[in-house]
Amino acid sequence: MSRIGKKPVTIPKGVTVQVGQGEVVVKGAKGELKLPLRPEVKVAVDGAVIQVSAIDDERSSRAFQGTTRALLVKMIDGVSKGFERKLEITGVGYEAALEGKTLVLKLGFNKPVRFAVPDSVVVEVPNPTNLLIKGIDAQQVGTVAASIRKLRKPEPYKGKGIKYSGEVIKRKAGKAFASGGSS
């Protein structure tokens, strides 16, 4: 049985949850999110509590019950607090700038890389080597952060590239020269 799916979800103040035909709409101070419902799952709102239940005892129904509950918790967190990911740019001459809704990254290539920022997230550049990605949808924030990181992943020798804040890059030893004579 899904233990996570059985737990009730409490709705904080300032957040409204409406169950419609085939979808759940969560509204809060930061915005609105919609979740299409699977036919295997029923969602009921009773006051300030959401209860997610499976329609039968099948394994897949119980799995969707837990998934739906977890997604609802993330949606409630998103519309009330929001989500953010921090990226750090390391390397000589590597920097970022924002031109409208386009992120311009100088990453050691012959031309700057232009990244179109989707409307669902906000990208801030507090300084040229740090990026801050914010939004109400955790999946969108993570996807945009991963897409930006993918443009120049950190390399293991000098650590140059784009990495998540707090990410540890395993370093490799460089090429060691022979200390002896010639053969």
Do both 29 and 71 map to the same domain?
yes
CA distance 3 to 57: 13
Do both 92 and 74 map to the same domain?
no
Do both 91 and 126 map to the same domain?
yes
Six-digit token pair at 88? Answer: 């750090």
Q: Does a structural domain hold residue 122?
A: yes
Show the domain range for 130: 83-164
Listed in sequence order, the DSSP H helices in the chain are 3-6, 59-80, 138-150
Q: How do strand 161-164 and strand 95-99 relate by DSSP bridges?
A: unpaired
Six-digit token pair at 69? Answer: 């509950």
Do both 34 and 69 map to the same domain?
yes
CB 81 within 8 A of CB 13: no
Do both 69 and 97 map to the same domain?
no
Q: Does a structural domain hold residue 157?
A: yes
| Domains contained in the chain, number | 2
Do both 94 and 160 map to the same domain?
yes
Q: Does a structural domain hold residue 12?
A: yes
Question: Tens of pLDDT along the chain (183 residues)?
Answer: 558 888 999 999 999 999 998 999 999 999 999 999 999 999 999 989 999 999 998 999 999 999 999 999 999 999 999 999 999 999 999 999 999 999 999 999 999 999 999 999 999 999 999 999 999 999 999 999 999 999 999 999 998 999 999 999 999 988 877 565 555
What's the CATH number where 129 sits?
A: 3.90.930.12
